[in-house]
Structure formats: C-alpha cells, structure tokens
Amino acid sequence: MTFYKKLEQHHKKLSKLAHLDAICGWDQAAKMPEGGNEARSEAMAELAVIQHELATAPHLADWFEQAETESLDAGQIASLKEMKRSWQANNLLPADLVEEQSLVGSKCEHAWRTQRTENNWYEFSKNLEKVVELSRKEAQIRAEATGLSRYDALLDLYEPGMTTHELDQLFSEVKGWLPGLIAQIREKQATESVVKPVGPFPVDQQQNLSLEIMNKLGFDFNHGRLDVSVHPFCGGVPTDVRITTRYDEDDFTSALMGVIHETGHARYEQGLPEQWHGLPVGEARSMGIHESQSLFFEMQLSRSEPFIGILAPLACEAFSRQDKTLSTENLTLFNTRVNPGFIRVDADEVTYPAHVILRYEIERDLIEGNIEVADIPQLWDKKMTEYLGLSTKGNYTDGCMQDIHWTDGSFGYFPSYTLGAMYAAQFMAAMRKEMNVENLIRERNLQPIFNWLDRHVWKKASTVSTDQLLIDATGERLNAEYFKNHLIVRYLK
C-alpha cells in the first residue's frame, strides 16, 4: 500500500469520528434533555482528545514525507495538500489545550442559552473570559508556527489566505458607502405601501411550508432533516445533513427565510463530490464559500420577486388564507424591507454587513489583546450607534450576547458572512451571463441554477483555492463591486 493510500485511510477514520461528533453536537443543541449536558460535554471532550491524538500521530510526518515522493495524479496531489494542511493545523495544539477548550466551550455555550434570556452579562462574561484566554493561547501557538498575526492565524482556519489587512481595506470601503445607501433605500421605501402579515401562524403549518420549500430547493430528505434549536444552524455530514430553525408564530417569514438559508448550506454539503468523501479535499473550500451558498439561496434567489411568486401561493395554502398580505407583491416588498435592527440573524441584506464588521472589529482586537471581555458591551454599543444608529446600552440579550459563535471560541468566523454575500453576488452575476435566471424561476425551472452551482462550486470542494474557484467560475478574483451593484439594483432601481 502506498503512503498516500495510508493517509487516505487514516483521514477517513478521522472523518468517521467527526461524523459522530457532528451528530452529538446536533443532538445537544436540538434534542438532548437539560440534565444530559454535563455528561455529554465530557463525552465530547473525550472524543475531541481521541480525534486530536489521531490527527497528530507522530508517524504521520514520515507518511507525508514519503507520499510526497510518490507518483500521484492531479486529484491526489490536491488531496495530499489538503491533508497536510489539516495535519499541520491540528499538530500545533497540545492535547490538554484541545480538551480544555472543548469543556470550557461546551460549558459556556450551554450556560449562554439561559444567561442570554436573563440578560445576565456578568455571569456570561466569566465563562467567556476563560474561552478567550484559551483562544488567545491557540492563536499565539498558531501565529508562532505560521508567521501570521494572532487573529490572522485563527482567520486562516475559516478563510484560508484571507488576512486582516485585506479585510480592513475591504470593510473600510463598505463602511464608506453603506450608511448613505441605507439612508437612500429607507427614504425610497418610506413611500411604498407594505403590510406585515399578521399571525398567528401555527408552528406545524410553518413547518409544513418550510418542508415544501426545502423540497423545491432540492434538499435530499433521504440524507437530512429539519429540526428546532435556539440558534439556527446546519450541521451533520454530507450523507446526513441536520438543519435547524426557530419558529415565531407572529412572523412566519423569519423561520422560513432561515430554513432557506440553512438549505443553501445543506445543498452545498449534499453536493460535495462523493469520490472525496471523508477526506479534507472533499470538504467545503472555506466558510466564506459555504456562506455564499446559503446567501445565494436566501438573498440572491429567494428574496427575488420571481421566487416570491413561487412562495406566496404556497403560503396561502399552508395557512389556509387568501389575503393581500400574502400576495407576491406585498411579500416581495415585506421581504426586502431595510430597517436597522439589533439582531444579526434577523437583519436585512443591506444592514447585515454592519453587524459583521462590528463583530469582526471587536473579536480582532480581543484576540490581539488590545481589549478585554469587560470592554465588549461598551464597544458594542458604540459601534451599533455609529453604524446603525441603535443603542444596546444595558441590553446584552439583543447586543453582545446574541450570538453563539464566541461561546465555543469560534473567533475568525464572522467575516465569512459578508465575504459570503460578496461571493454570492459575484456568482449570480456570472450565472446571468449564461442564462436568464429570472425567467427560469418564473417557469419553476430551478435545476439549471443548481446545476451551475454544482459544477462551479459544489463539486470543486477544496480541490482548488478560493481565489482559483472564483476565477474559474466568474473569470476574476473577489470583486466587491458585484455586491454593491446587487444592492443598488435591487433596492434603488
């Protein structure tokens, strides 16, 4: 057996353990009884140690050295590169740090569920301080090994190749035009007549509508399911994708658009190439590319007037109602309203970048040691006031405690959301050069759209870099002008 094949077998074993970890994590968030958290956390921490020990086994260094001398085809060369990148990333952290991070993160996340509803920043901050302490240790270790800054070393785990230098420049440009665009759009929309659909919208009827839309979006229910959790997410593995949402009986569009968003993530996972399942090269290219798929489904596709034309009659049927609030025209206006708000996951696509930039700037400075956890509430309030004209002073629930990401140390993740929106806009612009997207939607023929994504994004997995994926699909590297132009065309023209 070649050393490359040995490495393949080794990583497929790791993938099976990751499969169990993913399903345990889904169950912890969606199904597990309250009393099971401590034992589950300990079990998952033990699993994390086992995974880490396998991922950092000393003999792998020799296997990689030997494999690099073997005759490999182009696919195997790409696969070996991704296996080695994963190995190098895992090999940097000591097992005791991995175990402690798992335990501390699980404790912080579980307590956050209650502490957020209680607006209890004081108790939450004590748990978060420990998470940040361990994340800084990880960042320092990775920075010393890679030559990157501490934050860049964490950012690279989610968006390989991206740096704070690029993000600072990119986000500075966005902050330059975004406030004016928001003001223009709100002035225009003030003249439009739109009515919010009035509930109640029973949860079971919302769920049925969600399942129907998922079906139309091509979700494979033989390899996935929909459930409920405090914070919507997409988890599991490509052959068993678990997505969750949260329902509000006063507003069915919130859960529905959340389901569509997570379905975009799920379609990417379900579309990853089977021949590379279980190997790093067969995984999503980056979190930004992953987010581009969810935002393509939610923003580029599902909030468009042609798609609302599909959704509106289904909503009337699901809720046994025929009124103007559920008309295509009204739902299109309602689902494209621009209104600065506190909650990131409920934000419209125009104000959303402000939420991301705020979090990026805070977590960057937090990891670099320029600020401490105690500084977060004041900074959050200052930036929310500056970027969106809203104050969160004393309101931790709708402010700095609203997200789950920092509870488990996922620092470096937030920029992926706005990068994803930019990627999605660029993909749509390229797609429109090959087909009339709006006509296809009106004709209820979505398959050509999915085929384009499958060919240019899903089946590429991690066989090429993010830059190369964009060049192959659109003819150029990331160009944020596509996102800006998308917003101008949708909201001002």
Which residues are annotated as catalytic? 262
Per the CB < 8 A criterion, the answer to whether 235 and 242 are in contact is yes
Read off the tokens for 62.
């020799």
**Bond before 448 cis per omega within 30 degrees:** no
Q: How far is CA 56 from the centre of its chain?
A: 27
Burial class (CB in 10 A: 0-12, 13-18, 19+), 290: buried
* Number of residues that this document lists for the chain: 493
φ, ψ of residue 234 to 5 degrees: the values are: -120, 125
Which of 470, 482, 455 has its CA nearest to residue 159? Answer: 470
With CA atoms as reference, report the closest residue to 178 among 427, 422, 407: 422
Residue 143 near residue 153 (C-beta atoms within 8 A):
yes
Amino acid present at 156: D
Q: Please provide the DSSP assignment of 8-28 as one string.
A: HHHHHHHHHHHHHHHHHHHHH
CA distances from 20 to 13, 128, 156, 236, 240 (A): 11, 26, 25, 9, 11
The answer to whether the beta carbons of residues 322 and 153 sit under 8 Å apart is no
